[in-house]
């Protein structure tokens, strides 16, 4: 069985604390035409290089009915800067306009099959997965990307079309799993190729 959520699958439920003191569930985004769920963190250079683009994307697409939630799932014993307390600071520093929530148990990351940070999942109005993978081909260096797969998928879906691409390999650091070595990936994690 594939590790990562497959195209057409329903969004797994979650109930997670946000850095703003509120809890978020799928129902928190019930009014959104599209929902982006992105697995993120504080320390990964690919996330750090993408954060301004994430804020801009949310600013550009929020008025069109696209909601976004960033989920931090990394273990914090070996990655203390990914703690909830540091997430609060990071969201303020970067001016996040979307919820940033903590998946301490890592159950949500497992349910979605998050492979890397960042890893994006786009769900339609029925909360069925329509796109998963990367934002673009250069998350680490802003301005050097030559593709825009996430924005392309949003544009296509908002226009009532099938996304031109539905699956890309996310580019970033692997999710840091509790009890696993630093670079561990699930054996079936090559399912996006």
Cβ pair 94, 51 in contact under 8 A: yes
Is 6 a domain residue?
A: no
pLDDT at 193 over 50: no
Is 168 a domain residue?
A: yes
Q: What is the DSSP string of 49-89?
A: TTHHHHHHHHHHHGGGTEEEEEEE---SSS-GGGSHHHHHH
Q: Which ranges of the chain does DSSP label H, i.e. alpha helix? A: 45-48, 51-61, 84-94, 107-112, 149-158
Cβ pair 129, 121 in contact under 8 A: yes
Predicted pLDDT at 127: 98
Is 159 a domain residue?
A: yes
- Per-residue pLDDT tens for 111-141? 999 999 999 999 999 999 999 999 999 999 9
Question: What does the pLDDT average to over 75-88?
Answer: 96
Lowest mean pLDDT of 10-19, 48-57, 152-161, 184-193, name the range: 184-193
Is 154 a domain residue?
A: yes
Find the domain containing 61 and state its range. Answer: 15-192
Is 2 a domain residue?
A: no
CATH number for the domain harbouring residue 23: 3.40.30.10
- Per-residue pLDDT tens for 97-112? 999 999 999 999 999 9
Is 4 a domain residue?
A: no
Q: What is the pTM of this model?
A: 0.96
Average pLDDT, the chain: 95
Query: At 79, phi and psi to the nearest 5?
Result: -135, 65
Cβ pair 56, 154 in contact under 8 A: no
Is 43 a domain residue?
A: yes
Separation between Cα atoms, residue 172 and residue 116, nearest integer Å: 5
In the chain, the number of structural domains is 1
pLDDT at 27 over 70: yes
pLDDT at 191 over 70: no
- Cβ neighbour number for residue 20 with a 10 Å cutoff: 13
3-state class of 188 per DSSP? Answer: helix
3-state class of 112 per DSSP? Answer: helix
Tokens of 158: 């908002």
Is 151 a domain residue?
A: yes
Predicted pLDDT at 187: 74
């Amino acid at each position: 069985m594939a590790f990562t959520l497959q195209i057409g699958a329903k969004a797994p439920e979650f109930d997670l604390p946000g850095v703003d003191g509120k809890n978020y569930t799928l129902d928190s985004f019930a009014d959104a035409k599209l929902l982006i769920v992105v697995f993120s963190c504080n320390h990964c250079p690919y996330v750090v290089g993408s954060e301004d683009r994430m804020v801009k994307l949310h600013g550009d697409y929020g008025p069109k009915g696209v909601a976004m939630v960033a989920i931090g799932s990394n273990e914090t014993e070996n990655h203390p800067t990914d703690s909830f307390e540091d997430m609060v600071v990071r969201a303020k520093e970067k001016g996040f306009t979307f919820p940033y929530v903590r998946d301490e148990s890592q159950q949500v990351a497992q349910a979605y099959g998050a492979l890397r940070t960042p890893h994006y999942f786009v769900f339609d109005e029925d909360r069925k997965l329509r796109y998963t993978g990367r934002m673009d081909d250069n998350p680490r260096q802003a301005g050097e990307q030559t593709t825009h797969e996430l924005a392309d998928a949003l544009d296509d879906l908002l226009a009532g079309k099938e996304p031109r691409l539905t699956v890309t390999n996310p580019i970033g650091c692997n999710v840091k799993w509790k009890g696993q070595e630093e670079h561990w990936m699930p054996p079936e994690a090559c399912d996006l190729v």
